[in-house]
């Protein structure tokens, strides 16, 4: 199973029309995720099943049981019972992530391939609450703008 690669939307590559289109697509995907109930597999301790990739911790979430089953089989764990909660994407981003002891993102449909495969929602401003974002207070390099406590100045 190949790990998911983070989607990068470069601000300095391609035409401004392409960049704007990709940003709209990303915003639409995030909006759809926030409105959708997803399956949250639980680990041995009863908390969400997680992994670390690229220096970030990720909570696994799945759009349906068949996607979760394919993930389990790919891990060689298809024969065991998988316990999961069903949670709204917005609740996962707005309540579960901030309650975690360190920053976490969400890996949706990890291991999925093809059109409509998996997606990553990293713990950054605009996806998770400002208090849980790893980039809060970081210079975003927009015409000298700087993010300070979640607001651009």
Q: For each of the chain's 153 residues, which pLDDT tens digit applies?
A: 344 445 554 555 567 888 888 889 989 999 999 999 999 999 988 999 999 988 889 999 999 999 999 999 999 999 999 999 999 999 999 999 999 999 999 999 998 876 667 899 999 999 999 999 998 876 554 443 333 333 333
Task: Name every residue whose Cβ is closer than 8 Å to that of residue 50 and which is 6 or more positions away in sequence.
Answer: 43, 57, 58, 59, 60, 104
Q: CA 112 to CA 106: how far, in whole Å?
A: 14
Residue identified by tokens 């990068």 is 8
With the CA atoms of 135, 45, 33 and 1 taken in that order, what torsion angle do they form, in degrees rounded to the nearest 10?
A: 90
What is the value of pTM for the model shown? Answer: 0.76
């Amino acid at each position: 199973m190949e790990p998911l690669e983070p989607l990068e939307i470069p601000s300095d590559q391609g035409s401004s029309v392409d960049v704007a289109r990709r940003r709209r697509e990303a915003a639409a995907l995030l909006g759809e995720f926030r409105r959708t109930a997803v399956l949250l597999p639980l680990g041995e301790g009863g908390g969400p099943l997680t992994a670390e990739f690229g220096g970030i911790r990720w909570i696994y979430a799945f759009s349906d049981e068949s996607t979760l089953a394919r993930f389990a089989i790919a891990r060689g764990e298809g024969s065991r019972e998988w316990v999961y909660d069903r949670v709204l994407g917005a609740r996962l981003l707005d309540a579960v992530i901030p309650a975690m002891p360190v920053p976490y993102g969400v890996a949706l449909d990890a291991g999925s391939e093809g059109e409509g495969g998996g997606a990553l929602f990293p713990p950054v401003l605009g996806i998770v609450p400002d208090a849980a974002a790893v980039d809060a207070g970081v210079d975003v390099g927009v015409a000298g703008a700087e993010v300070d406590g979640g607001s651009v100045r």
